[in-house]
Structure 1
Amino acid sequence: MELQKLSKMESEVSVNGTLPGDLSADKGTLDDGEDSVATEREEFLPQQNSKKQTQFTDFEGKTSFGMSAFNLSNAIMGSGILGLAYAMSNTGIILFVFLLLCIAILSGYSIHLLLKSAGVVGIRAYEQLGMRAFGHPGKVVAALIISMHNIGAMSSYLFIVKYELPLVIQAFMGLIEKKEFWYLNGNYLIIIVSIFIILPLALMKQLGYLGYTSGFSLTCMVFFLISVIYKKFHIPCPLNVTMHHEHVNQTYSNVSLTSVIDDDTCLAKLFTVNTQTAYTIPILAFAFVCHPEVLPIYTELRSPTKKRMQNVANVSVLAMFIMYLSTAVFGYLTFYGQVESEMLHTYSKVDPLDTLILCVRVAVLVAVTLTVPVVLFPIRRALQQLLFPGKQFSWIRHIAIAISLLVFVNILVIFVPNIRDIFGIIGATSAPSLIFILPGVFYVRIIPEEKEPMLSRSKIMAACFAALGFIFMIMSLTFIIVDWVTTGKSSGGGH
């Protein structure tokens, strides 16, 4: 009889993932989300489990370490890389390197908090961490923040397609002046790109399959970096406008191309502070936002363990740190104080028909286009967790959500003439929440006190980390409001 009881107890452990009578599941932490969490089989993992047991009992990951690193790196990589040289010009090389290193380390620590929280409770979705920490309101808040941030990211990528792709087509066709052809209309082009490129990739069932496109996207950005390094040694400073004057469109007048040349125009500044310096920290923080994609990638990782996924995150963050730093340094040392907030525009002022820069534009367009499906996956997961909790996978629902999101983003990009301020508000609130506030708060709430007391060093650090996020949020919103006020006064109230 004793042997039968022992055998029965072991079978319950292997099936349910909890010990019979385990008090940890009876503390009321599931509250009203118990049914949906149980349905998705995202329960507590046993404290003493075999090494062969998978991290997520309802899904078997099949994505390799390399493909996972490509996906996460592609999620980190954004259009903000084009503005890093401008950020360096407003901080100086030393201050920029220090800030970039700090943000990279903090981003890695943030992912560590997420993975540790997910490992304790065996949860594979950001929204379900919100459920465990604060019940249904926490789940709703997490899902809304993820959706809001990623919709903003998708829109920014499609805005690049809308404005850059017509110029690329125009250059390839040798048109000096833009004609009124339908294939030079950015609105039509983003619809075509969304239907024939983004939608088929977004309909894939698993995020891991996008590892190949993510790898190609990163290859395009590496080509962009190589071109930036190459151009550093072929563009003189100050910019010689007459060097390619025959190619310069009338849009670029001598006034816009030649500014007053100061003695220090082509002198690299190691440390500087001006009115734009305060924007650098939010810009760099936003450049490392990838946290909504971390848990989906973790879920699909082959042989998922916290250490293995942390290594994926470390490799991705390190690779992006090197790429960001190299792009900023060589871009800044090419144009110094003359660099613009969008670096490709600065190259175009030197020679609008430069073949290499034209290829770089194409590479950047390919990179941002292939990033859109990766960003779409967490939004769809958030909507499914919020609207259809506990439901089995459905191709109809899977396809319908993808199409609805693409239609909404296309409408936003087509009909909103200037959404800089909207994106500013979204970025100033969602990015600090995803990087700092939510991971820190989740860690404090989810890690049991018997494992780590409330006043332990780990929880105090997590709480301070969340507080730092609130500081970043307040600071970013303050800068935006001040910019609105000063811009409104100087320009008559318009952007």
Structure 2
Amino acid sequence: MSPVAGVIAPLLPESRKSGAKAPSVPGAVFNVSTSIIGAGIMSIPATLKVLGVIPAFVMIVVIARLAEISVEFLMRYTHAGDTTTYAGVMRESFGKVGSVLVQICVMITNLGCLIIYLIIIGDVLSGNQPEGSVHLGVLQQWFGIHWWNSRALVLLFTLVFILLPLVMFKRVESLRFSSAISVFLAVVFVGISSVLAIMALFEGKTNTPRLLPELDNKASFFDLFTAVPVIVTAFTFHFNVHPIGFEMQKPSDMISAARISMVLCAAIYFTIGVFGYLLFGDSIMADILINFDRNSGSAIGSLLNDVVRLSYALHLMLVFPLLNFSLRANMDEFLFPNKTVLAKDNTRFMCITLGLLAFSYMAAIAIPNIWYFFQFMGSTSAVSLGFIFPGAIALRDTRGISTARDRILASAMIVLAVVTSTIAISTNIYSLFT
């Protein structure tokens, strides 16, 4: 969930002219997988609590497969046309309205990700109190509860002294070292989480995963649909398809890379989901990092718990400026299409940058729960970018290249996306008034 590669798209033609070697499929697999695995991994374990292990596994496989098909649609129609961007292929199919819709959805998705990242950072450092239960942050466990380590002040300090200097860079290349560190920290999180679950399994301290959901009434049945948008968001990377795909020599290479990445990421998501459920059972939170505040039976266990949380919080801090970079570029292009390049206008650059940071901060304080944001994005912008728009492009078929199988898959993709999103949105609205 890191829509950043699009920022360097203008550099691609230049690199090709210089005779640079085209990236290999394994290299593209790494880029695609990095784009997919972001904050989404935090909420996947909670979907197992809602759906049960078997339905969650089925949904992860189905959504991964649909995401792969949608990538195939995008690459095929883009190479058949005269554009190299997602917005461009939508413009060729649906005119300016199509390209504007893509820009809006990318901005909503990116901004939602920034807010989610701040919420998770706040959970790690200052804890959370969902539904009356108290989960302490690392700072509160180390120093006790004080005014200076409250959620609002800690996030404000992080924003001003860590994130603001990073987002002030005007070239994305300046962030390449922090990006490399962030990938390493994500690997640390996955590795230590798996080790903790295996240790608990051998010690007999694990919880038995629920294979099927518990359905007490009609409302609980419809609640199952609220987990689907979370998985959809976790597999949404389509804003990076074109920048990655057009570095490669053949469209089939990108499709192969996407297929391998889907299998890899689905395996990682399901593994983390099962290990998370083994560790925390039904007490698992929408942000699994909150659960790592528990007291361990050993000093090593407590240290590992803190390392897990801090490594991923730092990972998100380093990814944050990359998402902000691409969001800022999209927003500037949307609001000021005829202005000079953003990097050359310091006033406009500062206003957009500070405005995005301020809005993200206020939203993260007002709604400290990532489940709601994943549901919102998965039911609106993410499902549109991942499934509805690619399916609509195949059905529109302005190039006359869709087969009967393509039209059937595209129709099924759109119907499933619209139905599940509508039910999820309706269920959330209904729960607000009951």
- Normalized against structure 2, the TM-score is what? 0.78
Determine whether 1:76 maps to 2:36: yes
Residue pair 1:71, 1:211 contacting (<8 A) in 2 also: no
Q: 1:330 aligns with which of 275, 279, 282?
A: 275
Give the CA deviation at 1:390.
7.1
Aligned-partner residue type, residue 369 of structure 1: M
Aligned-partner residue type, residue 405 of structure 2: R
Question: What does residue 54 of structure 2 align with?
Answer: 94
Determine whether 1:308 maps to 2:240: no
Runs (5+) with no aligned partner, structure 1: 1-41, 43-53, 241-264, 487-495
Residue pair 1:232, 1:333 contacting (<8 A) in 2 also: yes
Q: 1:286 aligns with which of 226, 229, 233?
A: 233
CA distance in 2, matches of 1:60, 1:384: 27
Give the CA deviation at 1:446.
5.0
Give the CA deviation at 1:116.
1.7
Question: What does residue 296 of structure 1 align with?
Answer: 243
> Where does 1:31-180 land on structure 2 (aligned, <5 Å)?
60=16, 64-65=23-24, 68-166=28-126, 167-171=137-141, 174-175=142-143, 177-180=144-147
Give the CA deviation at 1:107.
1.3
Larger fraction in helix: 2
Give the CA deviation at 1:165.
2.2
Alignment CA distance shift 1:95-1:219 (3 Å): same
Alignment CA distance shift 1:436-1:69 (3 Å): same
CA distance in 2, matches of 1:210, 1:122: 31
Alignment CA distance shift 1:293-1:447 (3 Å): same
Q: How many residues align?
A: 400
Aligned-partner residue type, residue 226 of structure 2: Y
Give the CA deviation at 1:185.
4.1
CA distance in 1, matches of 2:379, 2:186: 26
Aligned-partner residue type, residue 276 of structure 2: G
Aligned-partner residue type, residue 408 of structure 1: F
Determine whether 1:459 maps to 2:407: yes
CA distance in 1, matches of 2:325, 2:264: 23
Aligned-partner residue type, residue 361 of structure 1: R
Alignment CA distance shift 1:129-1:59 (3 Å): farther
Question: What does residue 134 of structure 2 align with?
Answer: none
CA distance in 1, matches of 2:27, 2:178: 10
Question: What does residue 379 of structure 2 align with?
Answer: 428
Give the CA deviation at 1:359.
0.6
Determine whether 1:226 maps to 2:226: no
Residue pair 2:193, 2:308 contacting (<8 A) in 1 also: no
Deviates more, 1:414-423 or 1:348-357: 414-423
Give the CA deviation at 1:201.
4.8
Alignment CA distance shift 1:411-1:331 (3 Å): closer
Residue pair 2:71, 2:241 contacting (<8 A) in 1 also: yes
Residue pair 1:56, 1:124 contacting (<8 A) in 2 also: no
Deviates more, 1:468-477 or 1:316-325: 316-325
Alignment CA distance shift 1:363-1:75 (3 Å): same
Give the CA deviation at 1:439.
1.2
Alignment CA distance shift 1:59-1:140 (3 Å): farther
Residue pair 2:91, 2:98 contacting (<8 A) in 1 also: yes
CA distance in 2, matches of 1:197, 1:55: 28
For each residue in 1:224-271, what CA deviation from the matched residue of structure 2 results, as whole angstroms up to 9, or x when unmatched? 22222222244479998xxxxxxxxxxxxxxxxxxxxxxxx9444333
Give the CA deviation at 1:324.
0.8
Give the CA deviation at 1:155.
0.6
Alignment CA distance shift 1:214-1:463 (3 Å): farther
> Where does 1:262-273 land on structure 2 (aligned, <5 Å)?
266-273=207-214
CA distance in 2, matches of 1:135, 1:226: 46
Question: What does residue 406 of structure 1 align with?
Answer: 357
Give the CA deviation at 1:112.
1.6
Deviates more, 1:184-193 or 1:226-235: 184-193
Runs (5+) with no aligned partner, structure 2: 1-8, 127-136
CA distance in 1, matches of 2:198, 2:123: 28
- Local SS of the residue matching 2:429: helix
Alignment CA distance shift 1:280-1:412 (3 Å): closer
Deviates more, 1:218-227 or 1:136-145: 218-227
Alignment CA distance shift 1:447-1:306 (3 Å): farther
Question: What does residue 470 of structure 1 align with?
Answer: 418
Alignment CA distance shift 1:104-1:417 (3 Å): closer
CA RMSD, aligned part only?
A: 3.6
Deviates more, 1:378-387 or 1:62-71: 62-71
> Where does 1:339-488 land on structure 2 (aligned, <5 Å)?
339-351=284-296, 354-389=302-337, 393-397=341-345, 399-400=349-350, 401-414=352-365, 424-445=375-396, 447-449=398-400, 451-452=401-402, 456-486=404-434
Aligned-partner residue type, residue 227 of structure 2: T
CA distance in 2, matches of 1:374, 1:298: 19
Alignment CA distance shift 1:418-1:270 (3 Å): closer
CA distance in 2, matches of 1:481, 1:196: 38
- Normalized against structure 1, the TM-score is what? 0.70
CA distance in 1, matches of 2:419, 2:174: 38
CA distance in 1, matches of 2:104, 2:376: 14
Aligned-partner residue type, residue 331 of structure 2: L
Which of structures 1 and 2 has the larger relative contact order (alpha carbons within 8 angstroms, sep 6+)?
A: 2
Based on CA coordinates, which of the two structures has the bigger radius of gyration? 1
Residue pair 2:328, 2:353 contacting (<8 A) in 1 also: yes
- Local SS of the residue matching 1:349: coil
